[in-house]
Amino acid sequence: MSNNLLDTPIEYLKGVGPQRADLFKRELGIFTYRDLLHLYPNRYIDRTQYYKINELYNNSSEVQIIGKIIHIKTVEQKRGKRLVATFTDGTGQIELVWFQGFKWIQENLKLNTPYVAFGKLNSFSNSFSIPHPELDLLEEHQKNIATSMQAVYPSTEKFGARISNKSIIKMMMQLVKETHSLYIDTLSDEFKRKLNLISMQDALINIHFPKNADMLGKAQFRLKFEELFYVQLQLLIKNIARKDKIKGYPFEHVGDYFNTFYSEHLPFPLTGAQKRVLKEIRNDVGAPAQMNRLLQGDVGSGKTIVAFMSCLLALDNGFQACIVAPTEILATQHFVGISEFGKSLGLNIKLLTGSTKTADRRILHEELASGELHILIGTHALFEDKVIFKNLGLAIIDEQHRFGVEQRSKLWHKNTLPPHVLVMTATPIPRTLAMSLYGDLDISVIDELPPGRKPIQTNHYFEGKRLAVWHFLKTEIAKGRQVYIVYPLIDESETLDYKNLMEGYEAISRDFPLPEYSVSIVHGQMTPAEKDREMERFIKGETNIMVATTVIEVGVNVPNASVMIIESAERFGLSQLHQLRGRVGRGAEQSYCILMTGDKLSNDSKIRMETMCRTNDGFEISEVDLKLRGPGDIMGTQQSGTLPLKIADIVKDQDIMLYARHNAVQLLKDDPTLELPENQRIKNKLNIINSKTTIWNYIS
């Protein structure tokens, strides 16, 4: 659709004009004919059915009645007036009511003339009314009815009476009349035939004015497929281009470090999933292209040892490796775990964070530049210009969505060729979302927990059960276990949350008094040093209870902590509840997660509580979360603009997404550069898309 007419400003369309155009622009971002054409209906109404007044019953549905107006009056009310018309079809009477704009309406209504009244039915004291009905003269209605299924378009409060659904339909009719010959197909006839897709012209006409339900289904499929197909093509081409253009260092040997550790020092046998993922990484780093792989693994699935063994592949080939984490706590945790693994091999592993002393930094910088330092673990401090590697071959980034593109690119420039990249996340991402957001990365999944881990038992209690929950805590503490109690913190400046936390802390300190119990507290208004001191006390077992906000969501590893209590659990999203639960269950003992909520729960909250109690599987939880919240929210604010989709929905249209990806893969296999004559239109469309948007350069 490259014709200039489609780029005509919306105010020039008959029936729009400057005032309505202004509303379209402000409210729905519609500026041109093309934008309006892609304003797709929310739903459709069957306009083939007519009701008799004596057959109506109270179900608040939309009805259509043929009849006449026999009486009109205005009725005074507290604020202003309303216009009431008595409408009859011979079987009974109904009121048509207008609360605004009725001066013009009253002047145009005709008594005893056949009309079709359409609108939402209201019932009061056994009598029915239709507020603000659509009224058509029967004669006009019979001429006009182009479709049995009438589109209902997105609207906003500001549209009010200025832009009714009926007026949008009229505008669409005018638009289709003026532009229908300009709907150019970007898919070849052969491609459409093979996939049984209707033409773009048929799709656009039938999405607005469906001939029947079958044609509507075909139109929806064609438009959804097209959107998702181009998204997948962009991502796949980006991946191919990266592998083509971005050369990497091939790690040709699996040498002494890797083999010695694997055969003599593995602290526990690897799971099948860990072995599979290591094999995928070995294949990637063995090639002369840069690895760009996402490693997904649920909380506690054993990503750290896979990361360490990937570092050994770099060391075996004469390279250094680094691991970057978003917080000091998480970086320190990686450092402790990886130093333990590396001890038996005599590796030089160091930690660099904002707290690293100047004297230690000096030594670290020297060893890094000379190549004596094998693995550097740290926070954002690794991105600084003065951190110079002798030869960085592998960069592992944990929870990468917390780092900006600019920061990550600094790592890439610390060597002549960019290092291989392994991105790790403990946030399970549903397959369809991963395919859309990270479709340009290769994805590995550790979908198996290490043997011997007991599943965490999760229970949901209302406030009335608090005494029983406190009694349970005391029995667990008596066994020598430790407890987390987490309060919601939507925003660290939110006084209500802070008050809840402090009140909770005081109540807990009263119910669990010294010297028998000791309580730590961590929240966002403390300095990093204060937080670390309190965390340290808990980690060493000097305190039994840690009262905290979600500061502890990522990266606290206390194997002795066996109970996680989440206060006001209804205020948390599913993935956050799952992350918090993952702070316990790290030792050999049975662990518990207790969800405390108020008595009144919304339907979504009930589903969240039930899901948490039913399953520990992060991927299953993420699928439910995606259905409840939609794709935008799941990735957090940085990535909430996930996909610019107008009609497809990556939750509801998963099957179409998979079908689109399969066909995009096939197309690029047959014609990698889209040079064949039949693919020229696809190539042109891609060029247009790429000139307007760059597709989520989150990763590189």
Domains of the chain with CATH codes: 4-41 (no CATH), 48-144 (2.40.50.140), 256-285+301-425 (3.40.50.300), 457-615 (3.40.50.300)
Structure-block tokens of residue 332: 């320190």
Please answer whether residues 547 and 594 qualify as being in contact, where contact means their C-beta atoms are separated by less than 8 angstroms. Answer: no
Print burial letters for 224-233: b (CB count within 10 Å at least 16), e (below 16): bbbbbbbbbb
Residue 115's beta-bridge partner residues? 67, 137
Among 313-317, 351-355, 419-423, 549-553, the least confident range: 549-553
Please answer whether residues 438 and 294 qualify as being in contact, where contact means their C-beta atoms are separated by less than 8 angstroms. Answer: yes
pLDDT at 498: 59
165 pLDDT above the threshold of 70: yes
Nearest Cα to 429, choosing from 414, 417, 444, 419? Answer: 444
**In this structure, is the dihedral angle defined by the CA atoms of residues 200, 206, 211 and 212, taken in order, positive or negative?**
positive
Question: What mean pLDDT is predicted for residues 273-298?
Answer: 91
* H helix count then E strand count, the chain: 24, 22
| Residue 499 confidence class, pLDDT cut points 50, 70, 90 | low
CA gap 660, 644 in Å, rounded = 16
| Residue 642 confidence class, pLDDT cut points 50, 70, 90 | very low
CA gap 121, 94 in Å, rounded = 10
Pick the more confident residue, 26 or 417. Answer: 26
Question: What mean pLDDT is predicted for residues 105-125?
Answer: 87
pLDDT at 643: 58
Tell me the one-letter amino acid at 262: Y
Could you read off the pLDDT of 206-259 as tens digits, one per residue?
999 998 889 999 999 999 999 999 988 988 888 787 777 778 889 999 999 999
Question: What mean pLDDT is predicted for residues 115-124?
Answer: 87
Please answer whether residues 82 and 120 qualify as being in contact, where contact means their C-beta atoms are separated by less than 8 angstroms. Answer: no
Label the pairing between strands 127-131 and 122-124.
antiparallel
487 pLDDT above the threshold of 70: yes
Place of tokens 């309505």: 20
pLDDT at 495: 56
Tell me the one-letter amino acid at 700: S
Strongest mean pLDDT among 337-351, 398-412, 428-442, 447-461: 337-351
Tell me the one-letter amino acid at 503: E
Nearest Cα to 290, choosing from 257, 244, 325, 346? Answer: 244
Structure-block tokens of residue 343: 């001890």
pLDDT at 497: 59
pLDDT at 517: 95
DSSP 225-264: HHHHHHHHHHHHHHHHHHHHHSB--------HHHHHIIII
pLDDT at 80: 79
Question: What mean pLDDT is predicted for residues 595-602?
Answer: 92
For the chain, what is the mean pLDDT?
85
φ, ψ dihedrals at 397, nearest 5° = -115, 120
Could you read off the pLDDT of 140-155 as tens digits, one per residue?
877 765 556 888 898 7
CA gap 57, 61 in Å, rounded = 9
Question: What mean pLDDT is predicted for residues 496-515?
Answer: 83
Could you read off the pLDDT of 301-312 as tens digits, one per residue?
889 999 999 999
Please answer whether residues 540 and 482 qualify as being in contact, where contact means their C-beta atoms are separated by less than 8 angstroms. Answer: no
557 pLDDT above the threshold of 80: no
CA distances from 74 to 71, 86, 113, 114, 165 (A): 11, 11, 20, 22, 25
Among 86-95, 391-400, 490-499, 579-588, the least confident range: 490-499
**What pTM, to 2 d.p., does this model score?**
0.64
Among 137-141, 229-233, 316-320, the least confident range: 137-141
Pick the more confident residue, 83 or 552. Answer: 83
Nearest Cα to 642, choosing from 442, 490, 434, 441? Answer: 434
1 pLDDT above the threshold of 60: no
Q: Which residues contact 486 (CB under 8 A, 6 or more apart)?
A: 548, 549, 550, 552, 564, 565, 566, 567, 580
CA gap 301, 285 in Å, rounded = 23
